[in-house]
Amino acid sequence: MPTPPPATIHPDGHTDGNALAGPLGELFAVDLTAAATSCVGCGRRSHLAELHLYSSGPGLIARCPGCHDPVLRLVRTPERLILDLRGTVSLSVFLPSPGE
* Residue 94 C-beta: closest distance to another protein, Å: 8
Q: Is residue 2 part of the contact set for another protein (CB under 8 A)?
A: yes
Residues in contact with 65: Cβ distance below 8 Å, sequence separation at least 6, in sequence order: 44, 46, 50, 51, 52
Residues in contact with 46: Cβ distance below 8 Å, sequence separation at least 6, in sequence order: 36, 37, 39, 64, 65, 66, 71
Choose the binding region for another protein from 30-38, 66-74, 83-91 (rule: CB under 8 A): 30-38
# of chain residues touching another protein (CB under 8 A): 34
Of positions 7, 58, 98, 100, contacts another protein by CB under 8 A: 100
Q: Is residue 44 part of the contact set for another protein (CB under 8 A)?
A: no
Choose the binding region for another protein from 48-56, 67-75, 83-91 (rule: CB under 8 A): 48-56
d(CA 36, CA 38): 7
* Residue 62 C-beta: closest distance to another protein, Å: 12
In the complex with another protein, the residue whose CB is nearer, 17 or 87, is 17
